[in-house]
Structures are given as C-alpha cells and as structure tokens.
Amino acid sequence: MAALRGALAAALRAYADADVTALPDSALLDDVQGLLAARDLIDGLVARRLEVVHVREAAVSETGLTTKAWLIAHCRRSAHEAGQRMFVARSLAGLPALAATFEAGECGLDAARIVASALRDVPESERPAAEGILVELARQAPPGHIATAAGEVVRRLIDQEAAEAAAQRRFEQRHLSIAKTFGGMVALSGLLDPESGEVVLSAIGALAQKSGSDDSRTPGQRRADALVELAGHRLACPGLPGSAGERPQLVVTMAWETLAARLGDAVLERSGLPLSASAARRLACDAAVIPAVLGSDGAVLDVGRAVREWPIAIRRAARLRDRGCSFPGCVVGLDGCELHHIVHWAEGGETSLANSAHLCRFHHRLVHELHWTMRRSSPTEVVFTDPHGRDERAPPVARAG
C-alpha cells in the first residue's frame, strides 16, 4: 500500500507541474471536472478504510484516540469534516448500493452523507428500493437536488409515527460549536433542526439585505453582520439571564491614552481577544458596552460614565428625527441602527441630541475604522466626508412611520 501511495503522490506532483495557463477553455474545464472526480474516488477509498478503522478500533489501540479525534489531531481535519466522514463510513455497512457507488467515485462525500442520512428514516423493508432511487440520483445530480428528492422519498415512505420519530432525531442532532482561532477570529459551526433553521434563516435573511448602493459587503459578510446584530438586539433587551443582578455586558479594557489617541489595542474581557482601538471606540457608542478605561498605572478611571450613555429622552427624540441610518441613501431602519456620538465622547463630545446620529452597523464601521468623518450641517442633516475629502449628502430617505 505504501508503494501505491508513493506512486499516487508522485503522479499528482507531476500533474501539478503542468502549465494550466496553456490549456484551452474546454480542456481546462475537463481538467477541473476530472480532478474533482478523482477526489470523489479518493473520498470513497477513505470512507471504506475509515469503516474498517472504526470496527477494529484501530485508532484507539494505536493512539488512544477515537477515530474522529484521530482524524482531527493526526490528519488535521476540522471537527465538522471528521464528523461527516465518520457518519458516512459507519453507514456504508448497511447500505451496499451506496457503498459501491461511493467507493467507485461515482458520487461525492456530500451526496453520500445526504443519502445515508435520509435512509435512516426509511423503514427497513422499504430501504433497498429507496436506496436504489437516491443512489442513482446521487450519480447525476448536485447535493441540493438530492436533498430535496430525499426529503420527498422519506415523506412518501414513512408513516406518521415514524415521521415524528425522525423529526425528534433531527431535533436531538442540533448543536453549535464556537471556538477562538489563533488569529483572534471566532469560528462557528453547527446544525439546526428544520424548524429552528427556518427561524434563523428568516431572521438572518431580513437583516442581511444591502444597506444601499454603496454597501460592498459580500453576502457572507452581510449574513455574519446580521448574526451579530441579532445578538446585539437580544443583549439590549430586558429579561436576559445576568450576573449579580446585571444583564450581560460587553466589557472592553484599554488605556485612556489608547482610546483618546486611536492607537494600540484593547482587550475583550470575556475572551481575552485583542480589539483594535478604533473598534473599541465604535463599540463604546453602544450603552450595552462598558469601556473599562485605565490610567497609566492600570487603575480604573471610568466604567460606563453617565455622560456617555444615552438618556431615554435623547434616544426617543433621535429616533423621531432620524427614522433610520443617517448615511445618505442608506435604507436601514432604526431596528438595524446604533446611536452614535458625532464628536466622540473621548474627544469631549457631548451626549446631546445635536451630537447624535443613528448609523447602521455597516456605516458605523465606515466612520470608526475606515476613516470617514461626519458633521451635522442642520438639525436634520448630517454630512459625511470620505477619506479623500469628498462630501456625501442627499435628501433624507423616505421611511414609513
């Protein structure tokens, strides 16, 4: 086996040396399709071997780890990928048609996972026929089409009692993993049952719309911002379990000189992750965030000063005035906005109606971290200036309410 693997690796290295820029378009597309087919074949071979490793508990005897943990630690796979591969590998023994198709490289890992997952809910007497239908589809269609067809097959073949049991199994599979990365980013992965997923998809979809023609965020970035916005809304609501009688707060620790000079990093209290000074200043606009400002000797000078937090009367007046994001042309309503100090409180800005303006998450970051500035030119108009000194102003956006 080692000699075969060595020959395969050598062939792939030789393949990598080819000049793909010289290929015509049709040959380049054929090449990509062929490589993906080869990957499917390798995934099938891996699944067959993982099935044997699992049955023998080879990883346990050799390394003291479960097969999934071994995949993560020794093969450098993510927990999500390792879990998916183990699920498929364990399923193959009872699904001979799927096993033969997958091991032959005639369908991909995602397709095999979808088919195996769907067939768990099919009565044993109906499983061979359903397996044949779905495996044939897996040879020809992308995973999304297979998932749709699989759902329909399952619905037609199972009775109400089995359907309820299947729904309960799906519900019990729900999970969410949140992990810090080396770079300070936070990685999310998980699985939701269909009903919960629909709730999240609806909420994310509503908040992930473009804020205007100048919104250059990718769809993935808008969805990420929407998730953070949902969490921020919930933190701002009463009734959330708290600590020592206080609702949860986001505490950012930084030196006063850092905050005032826009230099250096801050630290998030809960995770210990670094936060840029500009990001900390942006977060400090939200009364749900407490800036723990330190002097040169490390003593706390201020935690959530009253002069920074917006009184309810000013918030109400600002909502009536702004009706939404103050950036010219932005269509985001008040529910997607934060009240911002035009002249930052760290620079002596007053917590007043005249010094306030609502900004959506996208334009709030534009001001704090992308070097835009803003000033109020009248009681109802705010002028924004880009990093090149050009002003942006426009008539207020018509909003309902």
Instruction: Identify the weakest region by mean pLDDT among 215-219, 349-353, 396-400.
Output: 396-400
Please report, to the nearest 10 degrees, the dihedral formed by the alpha carbons of residues 309, 312, 317, 322 taken in order. 60
Between 60 and 286, the more confident residue is: 60
Between 391 and 164, the more confident residue is: 391
Going by C-beta distance under 8 Å and a sequence separation of 6 or more, which residues neighbour residue 176?
188, 189, 190
- pLDDT over 80 (residue 267): no
Between 272 and 367, the more confident residue is: 367
Between 261 and 17, the more confident residue is: 17
Integer CA distances (angstroms), 245 to 93, 232, 249, 306, in order: 54, 19, 12, 19
- pLDDT over 90 (residue 232): no
pLDDT at residue number 261? 53
| 344-378: pLDDT as tens digits | 877 777 778 888 899 888 888 888 777 888 888 88
pLDDT at residue number 308? 62
Closest CA to 343 of 368, 311, 315: 368
- Residue 246 banded pLDDT, cuts 50, 70, 90: very low
- pLDDT over 80 (residue 385): yes
Instruction: Identify the weakest region by mean pLDDT among 34-48, 116-130, 306-320, 370-384.
Output: 306-320
| 63-91: pLDDT as tens digits | 888 888 889 888 888 888 888 999 999 99
pLDDT at residue number 91? 93
- pLDDT over 60 (residue 400): no
* Number of C-beta neighbours around residue 137 at 10 A: 19
281: exposed, middle or buried (C-beta count within 10 Å: 0-12, 13-18, 19+)? buried
Region 5-22: mean pLDDT is: 81
pLDDT at residue number 12? 80
61/195 Cα distance (integer angstroms): 41
Closest CA to 185 of 253, 250, 275, 251: 275
pLDDT at residue number 99? 93
- Residue 46 banded pLDDT, cuts 50, 70, 90: very high
341/355 Cα distance (integer angstroms): 6
84/67 Cα distance (integer angstroms): 12
What predicted TM-score, i.e. pTM, was given to this entire model? 0.48
What tokens appear for 34 in the block?
């062929």
Mean pLDDT over the full length of the chain = 77
Between 200 and 283, the more confident residue is: 200
pLDDT at residue number 162? 62
